[in-house]
Structure formats: structure tokens, C-alpha cells
């Protein structure tokens, strides 16, 4: 799972689990005070929870591309201290890739779930988001016995859970999940850029930037745009209106630049 994941054109869970051997002498139980990012998990382990998972998603606010949810359980001790780990939004793309590889190599278990645009359009963002997070947690192997979620509660996980405000900045396992989700989704958006270069998905990753809005208004939406977003509906309707006008006038949508050698329109 350390390599590139394929584009998500179907609802798909891509779980992966890593069971680690016992920690070397002197490493087990070394959750000594240190970086505050690990404090919450350390506290839960002291209360008897040995597999604390973090869950987070990427792409919830984008108007194009899939939603990606991830869950991750980091080991106790020094092995769980992932170098450079932080909220994925605070890392550069290169740093996220490095941290992603470290998380995959160190995690007790981790999973990624990709939800395509068709499902998001059919069921709505909130319902689908909750389902994706539940699927990510449920496919962890070994399973979690406590789950920390980023920002809002996720019912139906089957184990004790806590919603943590800005969890990807205060809990290491949530930060790890955020990196897994973000890197996976960014890779998918790079693949989509190859299919739909006119939208420049490689740069804005499907979020509503000024450049993306301009491209959407010019070209109309593609199949990877989410039809529940107002800007996508507006661009789709505007595109359809232009096509209707040109059809009624006996022209073609893209014939404005077609000219003969003499320079007269043909």
C-alpha cells in the first residue's frame, strides 16, 4: 500500500493492516512525556485502551473528486513517534509523502476508503462521510478498542469514541489518518488531471479556487464534479444554455475559432 493507489471510479475500501512484532527491550512502555501530539493516546493507554485509532477524511469541501476516509492505529513507544507527523494541512506535499511512508511502515493497522462522486451525489456528503469513516475504522486489523475522530462524532463505531476539536492537530493517530487520507486523495487528483487537464486538478485538487471556478465556467463540469454543489450546477446550466443557443442558431459549440485560409468564418 506504499505505492500509488488507483483512481477511485467505484466505491472501494482499500484497507491495509500491519501487525508489528513485540517492541525491542527498552522500547515497550516508553510513552514518556514529550510531544503533546501523543499525550491523548498516552492517557488512553494508561486507562487500559491498547489500540487507539484516529479517523479523518480528505476532500469533504471540494467540488470535484472523491471523498477519502482513513483510520490508523500507531504503536506505543518510540516506534509510534512518526518523524515529522502533523496535521496534513500544515505539511508540504513532499513532507506529506515522507510522513505517509513512515506511517504505513510503523502503524499497527491502517485503512483507507475511497468514495466516488457518484455516491456523494446520490446520498449526500454528511451521510456518506459518516459511512466512509465507519468503514475505515471497521476494516482495521487488528481492530481498535478506542477511536478519536476529527471534529465531530461518528456514531455506530462499536467501541468507545471521542470527537476531538481540531483532532488532527492534537492527537497523533488522527494526524496520521489525515495524512493517509490527504496523500491518497492527492494522488487520485493527479491521475484525474491526466484525464481532465483543462481543470488543473493537479494544482487545486478539486477545491473551489479562482482558477478552478474560471475553468468550470469555461468548460462546464466533468463527470468528476459533484452535482450537489451550487457552483457546479450553475456552470452546468450555463454550459447547457450556450449549447442550446448555438444549436438554435445552426452553429456548433466550439466552432467560433474555425476559419478558412482567407480568414472568413466557415
- Detail the residues annotated as belonging to a binding site: 56-57, 150
Q: Are strands 12-17 and 67-73 parallel, antiparallel or unpaired?
A: unpaired
User: What are the C-alpha distances in Å from 183 to residues 70, 72, 214, 262?
Assistant: 11, 14, 26, 52
Q: Distance between CA 193 and CA 196 in Å, rounded?
A: 5
Rg (CA), the chain: 22
Residues forming the annotated binding site for a divalent metal cation? 56-57, 150
Where would I find the H helices in the chain? Answer: 39-46, 93-106, 117-123, 125-138, 167-170, 172-195, 201-204, 210-219, 230-248
Q: Distance between CA 160 and CA 69 in Å, rounded?
A: 19
Q: Distance between CA 171 and CA 85 in Å, rounded?
A: 10
Burial bucket for residue 265 (CB in 10 Å: 0-12, 13-18, 19+): exposed
| DSSP code per residue over 131-159 | HHHHHHHHT-SSPPSEEEEESS-----SS
Amino acid at each position: 500500500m506504499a505505492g500509488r493507489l488507483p483512481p477511485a471510479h467505484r466505491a472501494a475500501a482499500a484497507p491495509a493492516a500491519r501487525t508489528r512484532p513485540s517492541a525491542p527491550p527498552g522500547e515497550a512502555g516508553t510513552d514518556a512525556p514529550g510531544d503533546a501530539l501523543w499525550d491523548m493516546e498516552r492517557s488512553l493507554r494508561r486507562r487500559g485502551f491498547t489500540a487507539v485509532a484516529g479517523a479523518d477524511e480528505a476532500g469533504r469541501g471540494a467540488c470535484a473528486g472523491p471523498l477519502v476516509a482513513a483510520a490508523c492505529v500507531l504503536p506505543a513507544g518510540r516506534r509510534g513517534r512518526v518523524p515529522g507527523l502533523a496535521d496534513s494541512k500544515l505539511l508540504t506535499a513532499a513532507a506529506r509523502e515522507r510522513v505517509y511512508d513512515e506511517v504505513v511502515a510503523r502503524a499497527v493497522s491502517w485503512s483507507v476508503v475511497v468514495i466516488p462522486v457518484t455516491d456523494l451525489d446520490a446520498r449526500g456528503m454528511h451521510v456518506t462521510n459518516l459511512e466512509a469513516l465507519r468503514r475505515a475504522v471497521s476494516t482495521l486489523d487488528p481492530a481498535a478498542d478506542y477511536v478519536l475522530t476529527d471534529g465531530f462524532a461518528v456514531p455506530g463505531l462499536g467501541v468507545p469514541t471521542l470527537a476531538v476539536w481540531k483532532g488532527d492537530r492534537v492527537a497523533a493517530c488522527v494526524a496520521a489518518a489525515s495524512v493517509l487520507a490527504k496523500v491518497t486523495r492527492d494522488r487520485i487528483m493527479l491521475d484525474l488531471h491526466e484525464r481532465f487537464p483543462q481543470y488543473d486538478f493537479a494544482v487545486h485538487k478539486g477545491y473551489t479556487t479562482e482558477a478552478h471556478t474560471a475553468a468550470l465556467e469555461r468548460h462546464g463540469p466533468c463527470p468528476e464534479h459533484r452535482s450537489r454543489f451550487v457552483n457546479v450546477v450553475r456552470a452546468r446550466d450555463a454550459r447547457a444554455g450556450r449549447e442550446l443557443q448555438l444549436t438554435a442558431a445552426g452553429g456548433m459549440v466550439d466552432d467560433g475559432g474555425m476559419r478558412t485560409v482567407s480568414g472568413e468564418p466557415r
